[in-house]
Structures are given as C-alpha cells and as structure tokens.
C-alpha cells in the first residue's frame, strides 16, 4: 500500500507527456487571466467590504481543507470554491482569479504539495473560472440587476456552475490519466459522485452569498455555519465509508478494502508488464492460523480476540512498507505484496511471516503457539483478477495444510474444484440420473454391470418386475412363497436349458469358440488354458494377448478406443451424441485362492467412459463425486449394478462373491445398509454373496457412525473387508472391535515385497496379525510369480492382481472363466505358472 499522496510524484516514463499537459494548462491559464489581473490593479480601492470579507474567508478556510481519507484519484474539498465563485458572480473574473490563486498557494503549503502541483491547481481553477465567467457573459446583462433575481439570472448561474465543474473535473481527470495510465471512463466515474456532492454543494451556495452581500457584508460570515455543517457531514460520511473498509477488532483493512487494493494493483502491474518492467508481479498471500479454534474453546473468545490483535501486529511488522495486510474474518488474513520479480520473492515474504509467528504469544502468562499455513497466488501467472487470485491462494493454503507444510504456491494439479472438475461433476450427475432404462413395454432381463440383459429364456416385463424377477417386499407371500422358493423355481426353469445357455454365453464371448463353431470343431475345440496362458501354437496365442498400445489406450483414456475385446483386438469407440455424458460400467477383477488356485470372488471396479475425456481415472471420479451429493447417486448405481450382476450369474449357474467399495459419505449417512438389504431382497441374492470394502481413512473419519453402519451390514449377513490395510492409522483396538471378515493388504506393500525385504516383512506381519484375529487376508497388486509364491509361503489366503487377470467387463469375465484352469503354487514349477492376460511367460 503506497504511503503519502501518490500525486506528488510522477511514475517513470510518463513525466514528459504529463508535464507537457501541465505546462499547456498553465499557458492557457496565464493567457486568459493576464488581462483581467492587470486591469485589477486599478480596481482594488473600488471593491466593497463584502469582497474583502469573502476573500479573507476563502484564504482562511483553505488553510484547513478537507482531505477525504483513502481517496487517491479525487481532489480535496477546498471551501474557497464557494467564496471565489461568489466573487466571480458579483465582481468579475479578475478578482476571483486573484483570490483563488492566493487560497491555492496557502492550501498547497499546508498540505505539502509539490510546487508543480500547486501551480497546476491554480491553473485549473483559473480555467474553470474563465469558462464560468464566459457563460455569465452570454446573458442579457448584469446578474441581479435592479436588486432582483430573474429567471435569466438563474439560467446563467446554472450554466456557469456546470461549466466550472466540467472544466475543473475534466482537467483533473485528464492529469490523473496521463500520470497513472488509468482508463478514461473508470477514472472519471470513480470520483464523479463524490465530487458532484461536495464541490457542487459549494458552488450552489455562491449565489446565496452574492444575495447576502448585496444586503449587508455582515451577513457573509453567517455562511460559515452551513459550511461547517457540510464539512462535518462530509467528514462523518468519509469516516463511515472508511470504517466499512476496516476490521473493527484489529484495525486492518477488511475483505472489501482488499478487493479494492488488489483490483487497483492488478491494473498498475498490468501496465508495468506492458512496459516490460522486471517488477511486474503481484502476490496474494492467504494465511490461516492453526489451532485457533482450540484457543477459543479452551480460553474463551476474549483471549482469542487478544490473540488476533497480537497476530495482526506481528504481521504488520513482518511485511514491507508497500505491502497490505488485511483480515478476512475469523483467523484468516491476506497479504498483498506488489512489485515482485518472481515467485521466490513471494516465498521469501511468506517465510518472514512464518518466522514472525514462530515465537509463542504470551497471554495471561500462558504461551500460545500460533503457526499457520500460507497459500501464494501470483499475478499474472495464477490469475488476473481478485476472484481468481483469491481462489487459487485458498487452494494453495489448503494444499499446505494437507501436506503439513507452512507455505505452498498454487499448482493446478492441487485444484480439485476447477471449472473442468465442476463440468465433470455435472456430467457425472447426468449420466447417473439418466441410467439404463427399458423402452416401453419391451421385454427385458436383469441388467448387470456390463449393461447386458439376461437371456430371453428368463423373460421379465419392465412394467411388472415383481412377478418373475423381483419378489414383493413382504417376503413373497403373494406369489406363494418366500425368496428362496422363488429362487428355486427360477433355477428349476433354468436347469432344462442350462447347458445350452452356458454354451451360448461362452461361444458369444470367446472368439476361439466362435472360430471353432464356424469351422465345425464344436464347442470344446478351443485350446487348453493353464492360468491365462493358452497351450496353443504362437499364432493362436497371439490372438488372446492384449497389445501394449491397446492397454495404453485404456489406461490413458485415449479417444477412439474402447479397449481389448475378448479376442485381444481393440474396438473403436462409437460416436457419442453431442452433450452425451458417457457411460458408467462395472469391471470385475478375479480374486484367487492361493492354496487351491480357485476363483473365490471378484472385486467390482467402477469405470466411466466420457465422450470427450475417454476413460476417466477412477481415483479422480471418486474424488469428484465425494465432494457432493452425487456420491449417493453413484453408490446407488454401483449397488444396483453389482447385485443385478450377481443375480445374472446365479441364473447362469455361476457362484461368485462380489466385493464393492463404499465411501466415507455413504457410511456416515447410514442409508447404505438399508439400500443393500433392499436390493438383495429384490433380486433374491444371498447376503453372503456380497462384500463391502471400507478404507482405513473412512474408518478413522468418524469411528462411531462408521461402526454403526457396518454393524448393521454385518447383521444382514454382508461381509465386511478392511481395504488398503497398512496405509492408514487404524489401531489394533479397531481391528478387534469391528465385525470384519477380511483385510486387504495394500498394493503399495505387495508390489515391492519381492525386491524390498522391509516390504516383505511388513506383509508377513500383516498376514500373521490378521490370521491371529481369524480374518481372511487378500493381497492386492500381485503381478509376478515370485510375489505369488512369497505370499503362499507367508500364509496369505487370496491374491488379486494382473498376475492372474486384469479388471474386465462382466461378459469378458465369463469368457475368462471358461479358459481358466486352477494352478497351485506347488504345481507351478512343472506347469509354468499362471500368466496374466496380455503378457508372455517371459514378461512375468
């Protein structure tokens, strides 16, 4: 924040044009004033006492003009304007210019103006008085002729007042524009209302003075009473306006003042950048104190207020003379640092603030620590207006808090609420609200996560779901039995065509079977499969592998590629309709019992193909959804798809356990248990076929509410698994109290256990701990045979990872199961071990 009056100096590079303008105005003022001033020498003795009274009051009042606080582009209010304009109306241009010049000299001396500024003020007033005098001369004759005020006199006075104001304000605004480069209209508009109220009132008081002077000179001093009232009202109004920009507790500027300061500094720094100045950067630092709420709660708000006052004083001592410190509210402060060369200087200023707050604040003999996190946004790199800089500084500040750091500079990758993410959230809501739907009365089957319907052998009308597919919630009494009887009847109908149904599914999904069927080789003519490796010639094996390019396209979400099909080729992405939000699907990754090689379950994984972004990263998808109520829609969709898929597999004779992830938001609401119970009953799926995975982070966010939700799920019969075990802060006490059936060792430990002895030791310890508590152990991220063997030796129960299979759509999983042959670790040495899809034996 600049100190002193900025109009006493001229910015570098603008002095030539500006002083040329000042000189031109001075020449015009001398030209129009020289003659009347010379003629005035013979009139001094003729001027009445009323003139001398007004002249004395004009000079005396300008010895103490009213300077509005905080205004940089509007002039001070000079009471002499009232008297000199009255002198102009009563005794002409010469006497008015002479008195105005003396008054300007006195006020300039009192206010400490630079000589050139005092001279320019005298010249501008001379030009304004000359314009007003010219308007009065256009009238029919002398004003107040015959002692009466005519309508022509009113018109002349009004015209003269307007002319004086337009010329005076126009010259001042032009000078400001030339010196600071402000745009013309914003500069004029910013101070126009204030000048009209203050200066306009003084000008309109002049005709009253003239009328009083014609009656008696003794009446003129009485005008000081209304002048004093105007002066006081203007000061009170300005003080009230200033208080609106000040925080009442600390005396620092508030958010409103900060907005004004940043807007002005952004404009000035934009000009510096246009000139190529090295100090054209502006930094906005946002500070949030740590543990301030604890101070309020423990010691009371009075102590908290004293702490904020002390922090304000320390901040003022830590910043530079040109910086601005503002309090935004609560324990949040902002610092504006102008004229920086780079981000390192902003960091240096932030480090000074951190050092100033490092020392404890002693209050009532108790030392209080007041550290904080600071976020930095730099103009123009991180934004070109107040709103953008403020938001980005806020993002950086929270980034520093999350990293347990003190200072952070804004980085786009830390901005989880960008416009792009908001758009992504809107598209996610649209795709969830639309959902898969049946058309009219068309016969449809149960739709699983792959979006495919059941075979027509199990017809279900969309408008009558309760008769065949979804039993009534009263336990099925209206249909003649409970859900178990309904399920038995449906299985009896399926058994007749069970073999044909399985053959149709496998032939449709497996390209090898399709080729064999077309060539007449029969359904069993496909090659033998060990793990994922087909025991077939290289030419045929290549068809089953997924190319690196196709896998890269799936991982990065490259447009135009859906990914590997069952035969290893890549399918082109269909053209999406304009504005279509894309498609939500479920992928499933097998979970293999290490000791037997049997597939014991799958984990359901969410996938979203966006029409513009391709495959959205699952982590980003969850992060976007968890910040809003969209997470509830997403969870409802996942539960529906997974339970329906289990019903589909049951109809096809496949018995698999499916695990799905739920977020902390779902566990806090408590609705997840009711929703899962409803879907299980509606589709006739046994509860033990479903498992819910929770993370340690969700558990620790609110253990009481989370425990209530998972206890309710446990009572239903749904299994509970603790995901990402080892990455959070859950204690053994939580493991003992929770109704868990399984823990999943995080892939970050499993991936490195073959090379890092510490990771291997951690994994073995987790397995032993879970085994002692009677919990099943699943290892995620199993990608090579050595890790697989080490997990078997450590006693791990289940493995999940690319060593066995990658996540795949439901129909591809059926094809994969038809090819899969269980392999035990003891047999792997003779049979080569399982090889993940898309990889050769050498790569594993």
Q: Measure Cα distances from 399 to 376, 393, 403, 412 in Å.
A: 11, 10, 6, 11
Q: At what angle do helices 483-495 and 498-509 cross, to 10 degrees?
A: 80
Tell me which DSSP letter residue 285 carries.
E
How far is CA 477 from each of CA 460, 490, 682, rounded to the nearest angstrom?
20, 16, 14
* Dist CA 642 CA 645 (whole Å): 5
- Token pair, residue 820, equals 């899969």
Distance CA 354, CA 201 (A): 51
Please identify which residue in the block is written with the tokens 């996942």: 638
Q: How far is CA 819 from CA 336, 507, 815, 843, in A?
A: 66, 12, 7, 20
Collapsing DSSP to helix, strand or coil, 334 comes out as strand
Instruction: State yes or no: cis peptide before 380, omega within 30 of 0.
Output: yes
Residues 6+ apart with CB under 8 A from 246: 252, 253, 254, 257
Instruction: Return the bridge partners of 366, or none.
Output: 363
What would you report as the CA-atom Rg of the chain, rounded to the nearest whole angstrom? 42
Beta bridge partners of 376: 285, 409
CB of 397 closer than 8 Å to CB of 334: no
Question: What does the block give as tokens for 487?
Answer: 């399920």
| Non-local CB neighbours of 786 within 8 Å, separated by 6+ positions | 754
Cα gap 382→571, rounded to integer Å = 41
Helix, strand, coil % in the chain, rounded to nearest 5:
55, 15, 30
Tokens coding 614? 């391709």
- State how far the Cα of 334 lies from the Cα of 587, in Å rounded to an integer: 47
The alpha carbon of residue 607 and the mean position of all alpha carbons in its chain are separated, in whole angstroms, by 25
> CA-CA distance, 29 to 27, in Å (whole number)?
5
d(CA 98, CA 122): 10
Q: Write phi, then psi, for 379 (nearest 5 degrees).
A: -90, 135
> Which residues, including other chains, have CB under 8 Å from residue 629's CB and lie 6 or more apart?
none
Kindly provide the b/e burial profile for residues 709-733, where b requires at least 16 CB atoms within 10 angstroms of the residue's own CB.
bbebbbeeebbbbbbbbbebebeee
CB 262 within 8 A of CB 386: yes
780 is annotated as an active-site residue: yes
**Rounded CA separation 339/321 (Å):** 12
CB atoms near residue 14 (< 10 Å): 15
Contact 802, 783 (CB under 8 A): yes
Q: At what angle do helices 15-40 and 93-111 cross, to 10 degrees?
A: 130
Closest CA to 375 of 356, 403, 355: 403
Show the DSSP H helices in 276-336 as ranges. Answer: 292-299, 301-318
Give the integer Cα–Cα distance in Å for 299 and 318. Answer: 27
| Phi, psi (deg, nearest 5) at residue 159 | -65, -40
Residues 798, 777 contacting (CB under 8 angstroms): yes
3-state secondary structure of 441: coil
The active-site residue out of 780, 785, 811, 837 is 780
**Cα separation, 143 vs 157, whole angstroms:** 9
Q: How many CB atoms lie within 10 A of CB 448?
A: 25
List, by residue number, the catalytic residues.
780
């Amino acid at each position: 924040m600049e100190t002193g009056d900025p109009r006493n100096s001229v910015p570098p590079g603008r002095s030539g044009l500006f002083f040329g303008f000042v000189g031109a105005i001075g020449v015009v003022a001398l030209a129009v004033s020289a003659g009347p001033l010379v003629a005035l020498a013979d009139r001094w003795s003729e001027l009445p006492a009323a003139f001398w009274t007004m002249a004395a009051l004009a000079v005396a009042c300008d010895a103490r003009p009213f300077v509005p606080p905080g205004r940089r582009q509007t002039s001070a209010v000079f009471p002499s304007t009232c008297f000199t304009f009255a002198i102009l109306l009563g005794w002409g241009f010469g006497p008015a210019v002479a008195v105005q010049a003396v008054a300007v000299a006195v006020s300039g001396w009192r206010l400490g103006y630079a000589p050139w500024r005092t001279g320019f003020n005298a010249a501008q007033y001379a030009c304004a008085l000359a314009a007003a005098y010219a308007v009065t001369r256009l009238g029919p004759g002398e004003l107040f002729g015959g002692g009466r005020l005519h309508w022509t006199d009113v018109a002349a006075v009004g015209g003269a007042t307007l002319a004086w104001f337009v010329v005076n304000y126009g010259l001042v605004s032009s000078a400001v524009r030339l010196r600071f480069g402000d745009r013309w209209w914003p500069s004029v508009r910013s101070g126009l209302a204030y000048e009209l109220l203050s200066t306009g009132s003084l000008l309109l008081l002049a005709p009253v003075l003239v009328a009083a002077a014609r009656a008696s000179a003794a009446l003129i001093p009485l005008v000081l009473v209304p002048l004093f009232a105007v002066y006081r009202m203007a000061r009170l109004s300005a003080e009230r306006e200033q208080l609106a920009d000040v925080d009442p507790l600390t005396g620092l500027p508030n958010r409103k003042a900060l907005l004004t300061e940043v807007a002005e500094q952004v404009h000035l720094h934009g000009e510096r950048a246009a000139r190529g100045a090295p100090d054209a950067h502006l930094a906005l630092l946002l500070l949030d104190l740590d543990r301030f709420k604890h101070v309020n709660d423990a010691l009371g708000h009075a102590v908290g207020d004293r702490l904020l006052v002390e922090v304000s004083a320390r901040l003022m001592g830590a910043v530079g003379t040109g910086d601005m410190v503002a309090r935004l509210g609560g324990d949040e402060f902002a610092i504006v640092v102008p004229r920086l060369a780079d981000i390192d200087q902003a960091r240096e200023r932030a480090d000074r603030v951190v050092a100033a707050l490092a020392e404890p604040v002693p209050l009532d003999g108790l030392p209080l620590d007041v550290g904080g996190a600071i976020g930095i946004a730099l103009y123009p790199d991180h934004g070109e207006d107040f709103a953008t800089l403020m938001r980005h500084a806020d993002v950086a500040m929270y980034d520093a808090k999350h990293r347990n750091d003190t200072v952070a500079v804004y980085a786009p990758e830390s901005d989880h609420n960008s416009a792009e993410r908001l758009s992504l959230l809107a598209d996610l809501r649209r795709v969830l609200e639309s959902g898969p739907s049946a058309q009219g009365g068309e016969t449809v089957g149960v739709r699983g996560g792959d979006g495919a319907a059941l075979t027509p052998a199990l017809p279900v009308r969309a408008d009558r779901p309760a008769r065949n597919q979804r039993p009534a919630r009263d336990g099925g009494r209206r249909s003649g039995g409970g859900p178990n009887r309904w399920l038995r009847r449906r299985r009896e109908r399926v058994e007749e065509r069970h073999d044909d149904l399985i053959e149709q599914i496998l032939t449709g999904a497996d390209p090898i079977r399709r080729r064999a069927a077309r060539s007449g080789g029969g359904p069993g003519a496909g090659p033998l499969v060990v793990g994922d490796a087909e025991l077939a010639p290289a030419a045929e094996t290549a068809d089953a592998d997924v190319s690196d390019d196709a896998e890269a396209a799936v991982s990065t979400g490259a447009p135009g590629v859906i990914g590997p099909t069952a035969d290893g080729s890549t399918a082109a992405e269909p053209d999406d309709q304009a504005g279509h939000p894309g498609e939500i699907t479920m992928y499933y990754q097998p979970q293999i019992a290490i000791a037997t090689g049997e597939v014991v379950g799958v984990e359901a994984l969410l996938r979203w193909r966006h029409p513009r972004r391709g495959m959205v990263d699952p982590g980003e998808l969850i992060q976007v959804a968890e910040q809003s109520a969209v997470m509830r829609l997403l969870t409802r969709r996942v539960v529906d798809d997974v339970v329906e898929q289990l019903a589909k597999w049951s109809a096809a004779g496949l018995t698999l356990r499916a695990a799905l992830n739920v977020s902390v938001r779902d566990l806090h609401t408590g609705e997840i248990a009711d929703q899962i119970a409803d879907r299980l009953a509606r589709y006739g799926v046994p509860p033990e076929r479903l498992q819910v995975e929770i993370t340690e982070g969700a558990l620790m966010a609110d253990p009481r509410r989370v425990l209530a939700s998972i206890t309710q799920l446990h009572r239903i019969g749904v299994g509970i698994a603790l995901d990402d075990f080892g990455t959070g802060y859950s204690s053994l006490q939580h493991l003992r109290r929770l109704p868990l059936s399984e823990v999943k060792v995080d892939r970050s430990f499993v991936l490195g256990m073959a090379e890092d002895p510490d990771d291997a030791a951690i994994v073995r310890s987790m397995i032993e701990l879970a085994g002692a508590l009677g919990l099943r152990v699943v290892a995620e991220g199993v990608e090579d045979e050595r890790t697989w063997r080490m997990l078997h030796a450590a006693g791990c129960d289940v493995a999940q990872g690319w060593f066995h299979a990658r996540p795949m759509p439901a129909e591809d999983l059926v094809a994969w199961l038809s090819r899969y042959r269980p392999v035990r670790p003891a047999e792997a040495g003779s049979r080569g071990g399982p090889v993940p899809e898309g990889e050769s034996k050498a790569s594993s």
